[in-house]
Amino acid sequence: MVSTGKSFRLGLIGWPLLHSLSPMIHDEFFRSTGVCGEYIAYPVQPEKLSETVSELLRSGVTGLNVTYPHKGAAACFCDELESQARDLQVINTMKTVDGCNTGYNTDIYGFSRFIDECSLPEPFFVIGGGSAALAVDYVLHDRQLRYEMYCRNPRKWSGFISGGELNELNDALKTADTGTVVNATTLGWGDDDVFPLDKSLLRNMVFADLNYNSSWHWRNDLLHRGVKILTGEAMLVHQAARSFEIWTGILPGTATVLEMLRKKLEETKKGVIAVEYRCRLD
């Protein structure tokens, strides 16, 4: 345990923030590292983003996580962007030092750890067109892994490779013997969301859902069909740990907080069967 002798004022901005797990994660990081500080969730409507960020920074908050739907817009409030955030023009972490705001993207680090710990097989079929999909695209391209992107508006997609139409994904999966389907959309936040994919095509695939709503009926039905499912709490915790390191200089361990988080998710289930987690903890 390390004490820095400094108290950190940190937080999260997004809309909505109904049941964010980030405060619980960072409270555990503070406890486990001995660092003193607070981490508060601030629900911020899009039209009030600029005003609220300015107010928070003036009040003494020096570190912010940024989540949906502000990751692109918040980059504009930074004086500097670290290299990966500059490549994507999307941030999820801000740090202020002597009035200078620097933006970072720790989702890239989080997805990299997710791939390594879960040994996700190629090729990857990624669905999404927002900030999470951009981070996934960045990692897969950087590692020179085989992957395809699919999204609702391919013409607006700005990743490393071109995106295909969603209705082309089922045909692509028909010829794939194995691989990983990555849900990098917001589908799954709602319990009754329906995913645009034929479930029968996932029999030999891994379904890697970057969300972690344990009550999503469509995904949980895959378990009855024998599909291997991995959910995104590991990515959430690892990107949070990297943000904590940026703010405090200390990279916290993640095993304890991952166990806590998974117990919390298990408690909030609404009568669904348990997800089988096969990731290795650090």
Domain ranges of the chain: 7-106+237-267, 108-234
Which has the closest alpha carbon to 230: 106, 90, 114? 114
Helix axes 255-267, 233-248, angle to 10 degrees: 140
Compute the distance between CA of residue 182 and CA of residue 231 in angstroms, rounded to an integer: 10
Give one DSSP letter per residue of 24-71, joined into a string: HHHHHHHHHHT-EEEEEEEE--GGGHHHHHHHHHHTT--EEEE-TT-T
Q: Are 44 and 73 in contact (CB under 8 A)?
A: no
Q: Are 33 and 250 in contact (CB under 8 A)?
A: yes
Model pLDDT for residues 210-223, shown as the tens digit of each residue: 998 888 999 999 99
Q: Which residues pair with 64 in a beta bridge?
A: 11, 94
Q: Domain spanning 108-234 has what CATH number?
A: 3.40.50.720
User: In which element (H, E) is residue 125 found?
Assistant: strand 124-127
Q: Please state the pTM of the whole predicted model.
A: 0.90
The pLDDT assigned to 141 comes to 98
User: Which residues, 6 or more positions from 84, have their beta carbon under 8 angstroms from its beta carbon?
Assistant: 104, 105, 108, 138
Is the fold of 7-106+237-267 the same as that of 108-234? yes
- The values of phi and psi at residue 193, to 5°, are -60, 145
Compute the distance between CA of residue 131 and CA of residue 129 in angstroms, rounded to an integer: 7
The pLDDT assigned to 273 comes to 35
Compute the distance between CA of residue 74 and CA of residue 278 in angstroms, rounded to an integer: 35
Compute the distance between CA of residue 126 and CA of residue 216 in angstroms, rounded to an integer: 19
- Which pair of tokens denotes residue 80? 């500097």
What region, left, alpha or beta, does residue 187 occupy, with left being phi > 0 and alpha being psi -120 to 50 degrees? Answer: beta
The pLDDT assigned to 3 comes to 52
The pLDDT assigned to 4 comes to 54
User: How do the pLDDT tens digits run along the chain, 282 residues long?
Assistant: 555 568 999 999 999 887 789 999 999 999 999 999 999 999 999 999 999 999 999 999 999 999 999 999 999 999 999 999 999 999 999 999 999 999 999 999 999 999 999 989 999 999 999 999 999 999 999 999 999 999 999 999 999 999 999 999 999 999 999 999 999 999 999 999 999 999 999 999 999 999 988 889 999 999 999 999 999 999 999 999 999 999 999 999 999 999 999 888 887 764 333 333 333 222
The pLDDT assigned to 110 comes to 97
| CATH architecture of the region 7-106+237-267 | 3-Layer(aba) Sandwich (3.40)
Q: Are 136 and 111 in contact (CB under 8 A)?
A: yes
What 8-state DSSP symbol labels residue 121? P
Q: Are 17 and 41 in contact (CB under 8 A)?
A: yes
